[in-house]
Amino acid sequence: MLLMQGMAQAAPLRELADFAGVRDNVLIGYGLVVGLDGSGDQTMQTPFTTQSLTNMFSQLGITIPPGTNMQLRNVAAVMVTANLPPFARSGQRIDVVASSIGNARSLRGGTLLMTPLKGVDGATYAVAQGNLLVGGVGAEAGGSSVQINQQAGGRISNGALVEREVPLELGSNGGQLELQLRAADFNTALRAVQAINGEFGRPVAAALDGRSIRLQGPIDPNQRVAFMARVERINVLPMEAPARVVINARTGSVVLNGRVTLKPAAVAHGNLSVVIDTQYGVSQPSPFGQGETAVVPDSDISISQEQRALQVVEGADLMQVVDALNALGATPQDLMSILQALKAAGSLQAELEII
């Protein structure tokens, strides 16, 4: 069981909030990776790869006769994704990720051909091309194979060139700006407003709700940048997070923050196991009989339960909660059911989330 106990400490506003509009924009595109060592798409099962290659050839002045069966194993169709950062300018380079959408076994050693990357409006904002870097590795010999991590995806650092900028006008409405907290909280918003107004010595900030804060900045762009930089440096003490327990159902990890408490409760925890032992016998018909030889299963089922007495659990701080849960002698997987039962009984004073 993992522990997460962090007392709230003052932090710069740039770590707690973002200015509205200053964000990434996602891009996506479809392209081809070539130069693979026989690990590409099986074109008979992925007709879109052959169609894409034929279209590309036609744009380059190469005509493929209709009905041609191109058995290519060094080409793979991929989806290319990227994030366009705020204030990106034409000519700037960004990273891209290419992922196979066919049945290619590996993209190692491949080269992504020129791929337009489009935004949600359908316009092309960047063009990607370059050699793929694949993090996985694999080997095959004598019908056996071993693989570490996935090889059907790769990354190209600085693999896309920005061709179009996303328009962003901060403070165009008379110098007004909006600051958005990453975690909505009315108390944190109030503290941020008080800290900002105290820094400038006049009311320049006003809370709109538990997440948004309206700022009245300068009209001049240069002064506005200095104003925003000064706001980001202001230290604000955020409210402590509410009591929370997060359970990862796949790994059995349990994370509790420092505000989790337990009201008095009695818990009995024991392991229940079911064992099924099957023995197979042969039923042989009598001589000159009309029966057939058959396999007859003989199953023996037993149930065992570990006896545990009731134990009282109670905790006012995190370490007492941990000691109380450890006293039950439960595994991390068992703790999930125990915490759910405590929550249902009203003993667990925390929000329970299962991921």
> How confident is the model over 100-155, as pLDDT tens digits?
998 888 899 999 999 999 999 999 999 999 999 988 666 555 555 565 667 889 99
Statement to judge: residues 347 and 318 lie in one domain? yes
Statement to judge: residues 178 and 271 lie in one domain? no
pLDDT at 214: 94
Give the C-alpha separation, 228 to 226, whole Å. 6
Number of domains, the chain: 3
For the record, the structure tokens of 159 come out as: 């693999």
pLDDT at 3: 43
pLDDT at 243: 81
Domain stop point among 178, 202, 236: 236
Statement to judge: residues 193 and 317 lie in one domain? no
Note whether residue 1 is domain-resident.
no
DSSP state of 121: T
Statement to judge: residues 43 and 120 lie in one domain? yes
pLDDT at 335: 76
Note whether residue 3 is domain-resident.
no
For the record, the structure tokens of 106 come out as: 């590996």
Statement to judge: residues 140 and 64 lie in one domain? yes
Note whether residue 122 is domain-resident.
yes
Place of tokens 């202001």: 234
Statement to judge: residues 39 and 147 lie in one domain? yes
Question: What residues make up the domain containing 211?
Answer: 8-20+169-236
Note whether residue 180 is domain-resident.
yes
Contact between 135 and 176 (Cβ < 8 Å): no
192 to each of 197, 235, 338, how far by Cα in Å? 9, 8, 39
Statement to judge: residues 50 and 157 lie in one domain? yes
Domain stop point among 236, 270, 292: 236
pLDDT at 272: 47
Give the C-alpha separation, 184 to 210, whole Å. 5
Residues of the chain with pLDDT under 70: 1-8, 43, 136-149, 252, 268-291, 294-315, 328, 330, 332-333
Which residues have C-beta within 8 Å of that of residue 338, sequence separation ≥ 6? 267, 269, 325, 328, 330
Note whether residue 2 is domain-resident.
no
pLDDT at 47: 83
pLDDT at 314: 67
Statement to judge: residues 104 and 191 lie in one domain? no
For the record, the structure tokens of 148 come out as: 């570490």
Domain stop point among 115, 138, 162: 162
Statement to judge: residues 230 and 350 lie in one domain? no
Amino acid 191 reads R
pLDDT tens for each residue of 245-290? 887 777 767 787 777 777 787 776 665 445 556 566 666 666 666 6
Q: What is the CATH number of the domain that holds 12?
A: 3.90.1150
Give the C-alpha separation, 349 to 327, whole Å. 19
DSSP state of 133: B
Statement to judge: residues 225 and 186 lie in one domain? yes
